[in-house]
Amino acid sequence: SYDLTQPPSVSVLPGQTATISCSGDNLADKYVAWYHQKPGQSPVLVIYVDVQRPSGIPARFSGSNSANTATLTITGTQNVDEGDYYCQAWDKTAGLFGGGTRLTVL
């Protein structure tokens, strides 16, 4: 079965750049989406098809996907960006999520 691997946690200072990785075999052959979930809330889509931002998502969120790794980048991280981030892709006949990364803004 196909797996998406994320680091359990990432820490960043306010105003700095946070990068969250998502790894899978030949992941660049797939499109990746990213979701942000705050405690007690439903997830929110922040990036889809590797690089697209949905309406209402700030421009500080960006994505890339190359070789075996997709990356979510938050430039000028703010306190409101804390929470869990999940990557998601499609494999054969179904979707799947990565294990999630807890982003802490120090």
Partner 1 sequence: QLVQSGAEVKKAGESLRISCEGFGDTFYNLWIGWVRQRPGKGLEWMGIIFPGDSDTRYSPSFEGQVKISVDKSISVAYLQWSSLKASDTAVYYCAKWEFWSYNSSGQFDSWGQGTRVTVSS
Residues binding partner 1 (CB under 8 A)? 1, 30-31, 33, 35, 37, 42-45, 48-49, 54, 84, 86, 88-90, 93-100
Nearer to partner 1, 13 or 67 (CB): 67
Distance CA 48, CA 106 (A): 27
CB of 44 to partner 1, least distance (A): 7
DSSP at 101: E
CB of 89 to partner 1, least distance (A): 7
3-class SS of residue 75: coil
Nearer to partner 1, 43 or 68 (CB): 43
Task: Cite the beta strand spans of 1-106 per DSSP E.
Answer: 9-12, 18-23, 33-37, 44-47, 61-66, 69-74, 83-91, 94-97, 101-105
Nearer to partner 1, 17 or 104 (CB): 104
CB of 105 to partner 1, least distance (A): 20
Q: Which two tokens stand for residue 84?
A: 């869990």
